[in-house]
Each structure stands twice: as structure tokens, then as C-alpha cells.
Amino acid sequence: MSKSKNYRFGTKAIHAGVEPDSATGAIMTPIYQTSTYVQSSPGKHKGYEYSRSNNPTRKALEKSIAALENADYGHTFGSGLAAIDAVLKTLKAGDEVISTNDLYGGTYRIFTQIFEGLGIKFHFIDMSDANEIEKYINDNTKLIWVETPTNPMMNIIDIKTAANIAKKHNNIVLCVDNTFSTPYLQNPLDLGADLVMHSITKYIAGHSDVIMGALATNNKALSEKLGFIQKASGAVPGPQDCFLVLRGIKTLHLRMQRHCENGVTVANFLKTHPKVNKVYWPGFKSHPNHDIASKQMHDFGGMISFSLKDDTQKAAIEILEKFEVFALAESLGGVESLCGHPASMTHSSIPKAEREKIGLTDSLIRLSVGVEDIEDLIQDLKQALG
Ligand SMILES: *Cc1c(COP(=O)(O)O)cnc(C)c1O
């Protein structure tokens, strides 16, 4: 499908990047399960030499993801963290990064336990007022890292304001981790970001069967750098996984519609429940950055966190053990509803003192609301909360 930028989201999700197979006309992109490609003479080939550099199934997926993010270039990686690793490898010792202080635990871990040791300096700051970023910029600043909505506190960061700050300074790249929103709900490049990152593992793949990451950009030089790192470091996804993600993307818009519908119902149910203390969800008018969320997101998604009036780990665990439809598991964004306990699961690598500073207390429960029948989800919440 050419000029995919001109099509609407659902049409792009189904068609972008995918062409009938040139050899057979197969409508589904084949799984090119091959490591190498035969050349007719040294250097004479059909565009593919070795599958770490390029693979037709992967290429179709990279085009699809670029189209969904209104980007010219897409790169996929063996995991979301491998994509983050590639972004950080564009930096060198002495460079500085300004990052949101409320972010995915694995991102915090790779920043502090891998790249800090290699001489990169990180400033973890509260970006609920994005103007704060400006205060931390100096000549060494090379990267601003934004995750919005944040995980698990569902804070919203104003991408446009962050982009305007990045643009005032040469050589600062604004990268947005768009995993929670998906390109269906939010398009950071359209708001002025330079780079968008996804854990494909979550909503984009959508079926809890693949680990993968992606980057997309309109900046040719940045794409070339990232493409070089992708090939030189070699953290590429295999063709079978790329096929599964291509299949998943075809229903991304349909799944997201239902995630959003179910999300609003679950958020409103929790809000009035006597055992619940606070519900964190950007769709509430009372959310501190609801106005920004309404502007930069098309809808509010199915990720919801809530704390309990009995603010203890014991109270949270009692509830988590009772769920029958919601499965207790790390991860999010699949068709099935999941529940988790960030303090002891996804965010256990963040020190307790740091966690509590951002409101991530011991009773906090995070829900990834799936696409099941809403009546069954509400019933499950009722019985688990008791
Ligand atoms: C899961 C996740 C990641 C890491 O991705 P993997 O595919 O697990 O490596 C990064 N950021 C966010 C927001 C995530 O949810």
C-alpha cells in the first residue's frame, strides 16, 4: 500500500507495509525463515544479504509500524528494552539524559544499572509540568525521555511542551515511550517528538505471545544511526515473531476501541467502591492533567491503577489472589485482562523510598483491562474486592 500516510488508522493497520508476496501473490506476508540470501555475483542481490541486516517479514512490519506512527522510518528489536538500549547507544560518556521519574521499571534499571556505569548521567524529574525540563538542560544534554501516560501512576506529560523545549536546543532528541497509548491513541511525532519507542510486546502485538520492541522517526540521520546500531549490536526480532505482530496489528484499532470502552466502565466502577482509596486514570476530569490528556490522546485507554483505603501489601495481595477473570501477571495490553502489584512485581527494582515519592504505595494495584465482556469484568472486580 503506497502513500499509507493518507489513509485512516484502521485502513493503515490492515494494509500498511504489507504487499502481496511478489513470488506467489500470497496476501499474507510469508515468514521468511532464512538467515541468508543467494547472490548471483558478489554484491549482486535482491536487496537482502543477511537476516541480521534485513529480512522481508521484518521489513513489512517496520513499514507498518512507521505508517501507524506517521513516520518515515521504523526499526524493530528483540524486545522493548533492546529498542531502548539502541537509543541510549546513540549517546557517549559525558552525555546527559533528562527522564521522567515515574517510568517503566526495566527502563529505570537499564538507565541506572547499565548506562550510568558507562558514564551517561541521568536526571529523573517530575514532568507533570513539562516546563520543569528546561531547568535541567545544559550543554551535555542529548536526550529527553518521556513516558506518557506513566507506568503505573498514569500521570500525563505534555508532549508538545517537551518538544518545544527540545527544539530550542540543538542536538537534543525527544523520545516518547508510547507503549501505554499505542499509535491508536497518541502520535508523539505529530506533536513534535523526534523519536517514538514501543514495547510491541504489549498492545501492538496484543496477544501476549511475543516479546518485541520498535522505534519510529521522521529524522533520516537518526534513523540511519539507529539502523546501524540495530545491525551492529544485532538485537533483531525473528521472522516468525514479526509475522505474529503483523497479524496482531490488523485488529489493533478494534481491540483499542474495546479496551477504551471497558476501561471507562472499570474506572467508574472502582471510583465509587468503598474499599478503593484513589483511582489513577487520565479520563477522569479530576485527573490533574486531564486537559492535556484530552488534547494529546484520542481516548484514554484501558490501563488503570488504584490504591486501597487499607494501604497495605497484605490487603492488595488478598484481592489479587481472588481474581478469576483478571489474571495475575506482569505485562499488559493483551486481549485478556491482567492485574498486577507494581511494588512487588514490575516496579520492585525501584527503591521503596523512590516508589513512595511518586505515590506508588504498597496497596497499589494495576489493571490492564482486556477486551472481554464488560459484565464479566465488573462481576470479577466485585467478587475480588468483596
Ligand atoms: C514492557 C515495557 C517496556 C519494555 O518492553 P519489553 O518488550 O518488555 O522489553 C518499556 N516501556 C514500557 C512502558 C513497557 O510497558
Tell me, what's the pLDDT at 216? 98
Beta strands in the chain (DSSP E): 73-77, 96-100, 121-125, 141-147, 173-177, 195-199, 213-217, 276-280, 303-308, 327-328, 338-340, 365-368
Q: Judge if 208 and 346 occupy the same domain.
A: no
Residue 29 sits in a domain whose CATH number is 3.40.640.10
Judge contact between 306 and 365, C-beta under 8 A. Answer: yes
Please check whether residues 78 and 196 belong to one and the same domain. yes
| pLDDT of the residue at 3 | 46
Query: Greater confidence, 354 or 25?
Result: 25
Per residue in 119-158, pLDDT tens?
A: 999 999 999 999 999 999 999 999 999 999 998 899 999 9
Q: In terms of domains, do 47 and 195 share one? A: yes
Q: Tell me the pairing of strands 195-199 and 173-177.
A: parallel
186, 220, 249 - which closes a domain:
249
Alpha-carbon torsion 205, 346, 293, 83, what sign? Answer: negative
pLDDT value, residue 1: 53
Q: Is the peptide bond before 288 cis (omega within 30 degrees of 0)?
A: no
Residue 346: which pLDDT band, with cuts at 50, 70 and 90?
confident
Atom from ligand 1 closest to the CA of residue 103: 13
Specify the residue for cell string 530550542.
168
3-state helix, strand, coil split of the chain in percent (to 5) is 40, 15, 45
Is 7 noted as a catalytic residue in this protein? no
Atom of ligand 1 nearest to the CA of 180: 13
* Cβ-contact 370, 259 below 8 angstroms: yes
Q: Does residue 2 lie in a domain region?
A: no
302 and 225 inside one domain: no
User: In terms of DSSP bridges, do strands 73-77 and 121-125 run parallel, antiparallel, or are they unpaired?
Assistant: unpaired
Q: Hey, how many other C-beta atoms are within 10 angstroms of the C-beta on 24?
A: 8
Among 202, 212, 345, name the best residue to mutate to test ligand 1's pocket (greatest count of ligand atoms within 8 A of Cβ).
202
Q: What CATH number is given to the structural domain containing 309?
A: 3.90.1150.10
pTM of the predicted model as reported, rounded to 2 decimal places: 0.96
Give the C-alpha separation, 78 to 261, whole Å: 31
Range of 180's domain?
A: 7-249
Q: Are strands 141-147 and 173-177 parallel, antiparallel or unpaired?
A: parallel
User: Rounded to the nearest 5°, which phi and psi values hold at 133?
Assistant: -55, -40
Distance CA 160, CA 146 (A): 11
**Which pairing describes strands 303-308 and 365-368: parallel, antiparallel, or unpaired?**
antiparallel
Cα–Cα–Cα angle for 59, 62, 66, rounded to 5 degrees: 140
Distance 346 CA to ligand 1 centre (A): 10
Nearest CA to ligand 1 atom 2: 199
Place of cell 538467515: 35
pLDDT confidence of residue 5? 57
Decide: helix, strand or coil at residue 346: coil
- Report the mean per-residue pLDDT for the chain: 95
Question: Is 164 among the domain residues?
Answer: yes
Query: 244 with 266, same domain?
Result: no
Percent of the chain with pLDDT over 90: 91
Answer whether residue 1 is part of any domain: no
Index of the ligand 1 atom closest to the CA of residue 179: 13
Q: Which helix (H) or strand (E) holds 162?
A: helix 159-168
